[in-house]
């Protein structure tokens, strides 16, 4: 069905166990880096499932915020990022981790870090489940990376194709047949 719509082949990349194990590692690393507590800011919409699983693997005190951005249409980035939902809480003086589903060009991360830095958090780090190093154009470093992947479009575990398929429990890659 997806293959018919996109003309691409759907290939499994990470199954539920791969994701659970890696999210657990990331949660342990974050808990040990921030024993006093941390504020997680999930980037909507793609990170909502990752954030839900990640915070349940974090053992230090944790607060959760979301910020909504829009930058993609179909399988192509538009290069223009805009905020669709802002934070509800103040992050001044807090240790903050911005949590992305995937870093492709890194434009979204660069834009959001610039927006958040002026709100004076005590520290600001980046965590992403997936990273596409060959597409990166950004200035900031990634602090926590779940998996590095190639540039092909992926769906599932929160990641969509035109608003659909976010509920797939594993991550699948769309590749040229």
Starting at the earlier edge strand, list the strands of the sheet with 62-73.
76-85, 62-73, 38-44, 95-103, 123-131, 144-148
Q: Strands, DSSP E only, in the chain?
A: 9-14, 38-44, 62-73, 76-85, 95-103, 123-131, 144-148, 153-155, 171-175
- Cβ neighbour number for residue 76 with a 10 Å cutoff: 8
* Nearest approach, Cβ of residue 70 and ligand 5GP (Å): 9
Smallest separation, CB 73 to ligand 5GP (Å): 10
Q: Is 86 a catalytic residue?
A: no
39 touching ligand 5GP, by CB under 6 A: no
Region of 23-31, 82-90, 97-105, 112-120 interacting with ligand 5GP (CB under 6 A):
97-105
Report the Cα 134 to chain-centroid distance in Å.
17
Residues facing 97 on adjacent strands:
40, 125
Structure tokens at 13: 């990349």
Give, as one character, the DSSP assignment of residue 139.
S
Residue 99 interacting with ligand 5GP (CB under 6 A): no
108 binds ligand 5GP (CB under 6 A): yes
Instruction: Please select the residue that binds ligand 5GP; options are 98, 153, 157, 172, rule is CB under 6 A.
Output: 153
Q: Does 66 bind ligand 5GP (CB under 6 A)?
A: no
Q: Considering only residues 100, 127, 142, 157, which one is a binding residue for ligand 5GP as defined by CB under 6 A?
A: 100
Residues at the interface with ligand 5GP (CB under 6 A): 43, 46, 71-72, 77, 100-108, 153-155, 159-160
Active site residues: 104
């Amino acid at each position: 069905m997806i293959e018919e719509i996109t003309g691409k082949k759907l290939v499994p990349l990470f199954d539920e166990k791969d994701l659970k194990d890696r999210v657990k590692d990331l949660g342990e690393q974050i808990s040990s880096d921030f024993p006093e507590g941390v504020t997680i800011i999930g980037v909507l919409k793609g990170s909502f499932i990752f954030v839900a699983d990640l915070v349940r693997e974090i053992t230090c005190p944790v607060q959760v915020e979301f910020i909504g951005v829009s930058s993609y249409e179909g399988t192509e980035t538009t290069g223009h990022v805009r905020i669709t939902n802002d934070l509800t809480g103040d992050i001044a003086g807090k240790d903050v981790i911005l949590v992305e589903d995937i870093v492709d060009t890194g434009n979204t991360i660069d834009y959001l870090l610039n927006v958040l830095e002026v709100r004076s958090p005590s520290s600001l780090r980046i965590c992403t489940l997936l990273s596409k190093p060959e597409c990166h154009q950004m200035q900031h470093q990634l602090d926590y990376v779940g998996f590095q992947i190639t540039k092909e479009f992926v769906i599932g575990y929160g990641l969509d194709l035109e608003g659909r398929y976010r509920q797939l429990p594993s991550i699948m890659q769309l590749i040229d047949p």
